[in-house]
Amino acid sequence: MNLYFFGGSFDPPHLGHKEIINHFIDQSDILIVCPSYKSPLKHDAPIASFLHRKEMLEMMFPDNEKLSIIDYEIHNKIKYTIDTIKYLKCKYSNYKIHLIIGIDQFNKFHLWKDYEDILNLVNLQVVSRPGEQIIDNNMSFNHTKLINVDASSSFIRKNIFHTNEISGILDQRVLKYINYKGLYN
């Protein structure tokens, strides 16, 4: 059985995230999305709370029994992917675990805590982003080139008041939620 794990800040989740999840959910028995507590490679913690980020993700994927959004990193104040993977390995011991990361994270994967241990525990699934190239680092991975949405959460946060700039990269339900809750103002 296959478990796909996709972590990130999802601050906010966008259509690129949705496209990635939709692509891998068909290959999985379960797909776990884990909003991060705080990425060690980013200076700032996520702006939106975990509850807001989870709510926005749930809006994008209503009633999908294969998808599970977990609070493990938030609840346990976990900063490192290796710790979450070890937790998943214990909880889902009969599953083959696949870690989904973007090409931007892959190119700095050597900076991740215990990255070699991660490679021994999971199958790495690297997703392309328009305009970015893979830096060859002699790691074993599967490369997915099918994702076409060029979006970033930081761009959305900076342009939240420019609806025409973000309308093609942000789910409209998520945009309404952001505006209603006054996020990223």
Where do the domains of the chain lie?
A: 2-150
* One pLDDT digit (tens) per residue for the chain, 185 residues: 999 999 999 999 999 999 999 999 999 999 999 998 877 767 777 899 999 999 999 999 988 899 999 998 888 887 899 999 999 999 999 999 999 999 889 999 999 999 999 999 999 999 988 777 888 777 888 888 877 667 889 899 998 888 778 888 999 999 999 999 999 98
Nearest-angstrom CA–CA distance, 144 and 1: 20
- Which residues make Cβ contacts (< 8 Å) with residue 38, sequence separation at least 6? 45, 46, 79
What token pair was written down for 21?
């999840």
CATH superfamily placement of domain 2-150? HUPs (3.40.50.620)
pTM, entire model: 0.92
